[in-house]
Amino acid sequence: FSGDTAGSRVVHLINIWRADQTFARLVLSERMGALVARLAGWRSGARVAQDQVWAKPPGAPPLVFHRDSPYFFFETDEPADAPDVMTVWVALDDMAPELGPLEYVAGSHVWEDGRAGSAAAFFQREPRELLLAAAARAGVAEAQLRLVSLQGLMAGDIAVHHGRCWHGSGPNASSSRPRRGFGIHYVPATARFAPAAARSRVWRPYIEA
């Protein structure tokens, strides 16, 4: 880090397990997959759909509040009330408050689906715009939102969240410390591509392979 925070941007890497053995051991961990399946109640087990690293260098902007599920175009034979996506989030740095730790919106996993996901949404100027619109549709006022911060997590600690849970994070206000996190997205073991996946730049290559 050069010490200059002007123009600092979020770094986003997908499927880093293919390039690093340490990440690969975690992503391919049977123990982790079994834990996720048990928490989700998936009878078929769990499989990894994708991993992502989000790195916010000092001065980097916030990440917009969003859900994970709209970005994963899969169908499953699991019960309708079961999660369609589960995410394990791994802290790669100690989550001090000034770093902009991840925040969950308690109870938001039961709100209606709303709009589909778009990668551009992560970097909108107003980080809570989509969240507040979704809350309004669910009849929840802004003052009623209860945010649960991952502040205090230490490097190596994990959090597991429902794919429909709204979450986001503030800017990295530190002048010298990065904020890095690693997400592993799981789907039920019986998941298969939905028709919409053929129109996705992320998933279409896997269908055509």
> Region 23-41: what's the mean pLDDT?
97
Q: Are strands 102-105 and 147-149 parallel, antiparallel or unpaired?
A: antiparallel
Strands (E), the chain: 11-14, 46-56, 63-66, 74-75, 86-91, 102-105, 147-149, 158-162, 167-169, 179-188, 192-193
For residue range 164-183, what is the model confidence (pLDDT) as tens digits? 999 999 999 999 999 999 99
Confidence of residue 113 (pLDDT cuts 50, 70, 90): confident
pLDDT for residue 196 is more than 60: yes
Q: What is the pLDDT of residue 91?
A: 98
3-state secondary structure of 97: helix
pLDDT for residue 58 is more than 70: yes
Q: Are 94 and 179 in contact (CB under 8 A)?
A: no
> Region 94-102: what's the mean pLDDT?
97
Q: What is the pLDDT of residue 127?
A: 86
Q: How many other β-carbons are positioned within 10 Å of the β-carbon of residue 89?
A: 22
DSSP assignment string, 150-172 = -TTPPTT-EEEEETTS-EEE---
Q: Are 85 and 151 in contact (CB under 8 A)?
A: no
**Radius of gyration in angstroms for the set of CA atoms belonging to the chain, rounded to a whole number:** 17
Q: What is the pLDDT of residue 112?
A: 87
Buried b (16+ CB within 10 A) or exposed e, 11-39: eeeeeebeeeeebeebbeeeebbebbbeb
Q: What is the pLDDT of residue 208?
A: 77
Q: Are 91 and 149 in contact (CB under 8 A)?
A: no
> Region 28-55: what's the mean pLDDT?
97
> Which is more confident, 140 or 207?
140
Mean pLDDT of the chain: 92
For residue range 72-93, what is the model confidence (pLDDT) as tens digits? 999 999 999 999 999 999 999 9
**129 Cβ contact list (under 8 Å, min separation 6):** 64
Q: What is the pLDDT of residue 188?
A: 98
Q: What is the pLDDT of residue 115?
A: 54
pLDDT for residue 5 is more than 80: no
